Amino acid sequence: MFTGIVTDIGTITELDQQGDLRARINMAYDTAGIDIGASIASDGVCLTVIALGDDWYDVQISAETVSKTNLDSWVVGKRVNLERALKVGDELGGHIVSGHVDGVAQVVAVEDEGDSTRVTLRAPKDLARFIAPKGSVALNGTSLTVNDVDMCEFGINFIPHTKEVTTWGDVSVGDQVNLEIDTLARYVARLAEMS
């Protein structure tokens, strides 16, 4: 489990497609505190560490994961949001995030509003019903509050701090973004279906 509070920005330094996709991600975490088999959310996708170096970790990514996420657009040099798994007793600053991406949203507009940036995204139709104003979503692993919703489109405001400590300062129209629906919204919708 994660909180959606990004704690580092990693850089993809190697990609190798042999059966599954293998990626090497450079980062600033102290690898002495990371075990093989640990989970690290990488752009919001819970991935298992299979090898470690002084300032990098490797992950193996199945075709299923690639097909459900934006990882097919990863290239060497791409920056990615990182978060270590939540430990008992850690502060829950965002919301409960599983790292199991539900689908991919597309950035359809980017506008500066004062020092903040307003980003409008289009969610897949089957996921849009789970997104509500003032609700939470995880986008590329970042816990965010939804400002408004119009059918399949929804808006998020990014303050300067978020743009500095995540990859959201690099956002552009057309970007494909990993979208994880709030777990509570999913269960509420399921209960409503069964009523």
pLDDT, tens digit, for every residue of 81-94? 999 998 777 777 77
What pLDDT, in 10s, does the model give residues 135-180?
999 999 999 999 999 999 999 999 999 999 999 999 999 999 999 9
Please tell me the distance from the alpha carbon of residue 108 to that of residue 62, in angstroms, as a whole number: 28
* CATH of region 8-84, choose from 3.40.470.10, 2.30.30.90, 2.40.30.20, 2.60.120.260: 2.40.30.20
Tokens of 92: 């829950």
Please report the pLDDT score of residue 143 as a whole number: 95
Among all chains, which residue has been given the structure tokens 């978020």?
Answer: 162
As a whole number, mean pLDDT of residues 121-141 equals 95
pLDDT of residue 19: 87
Helix (H) or strand (E) holding 163: helix 160-165
Where does the chain hold its CATH 2.40.30.20 domain(s)? 8-84, 103-194
pLDDT of amino acid 147: 96
Contacts of 140 (CB under 8 A, 6+ apart): 43, 44, 70, 80, 81, 166, 167, 168, 177, 178
Q: Write out the two tokens for 164.
A: 């500095």
| Helix extents (H) in 74-181 | 125-128, 160-165
Mean pLDDT of 123-128: 95
Q: Which residue has the tokens 């199991």?
A: 100
- Name the class of domain 103-194: mainly beta
Q: Is the pTM of this model over 0.75?
A: yes
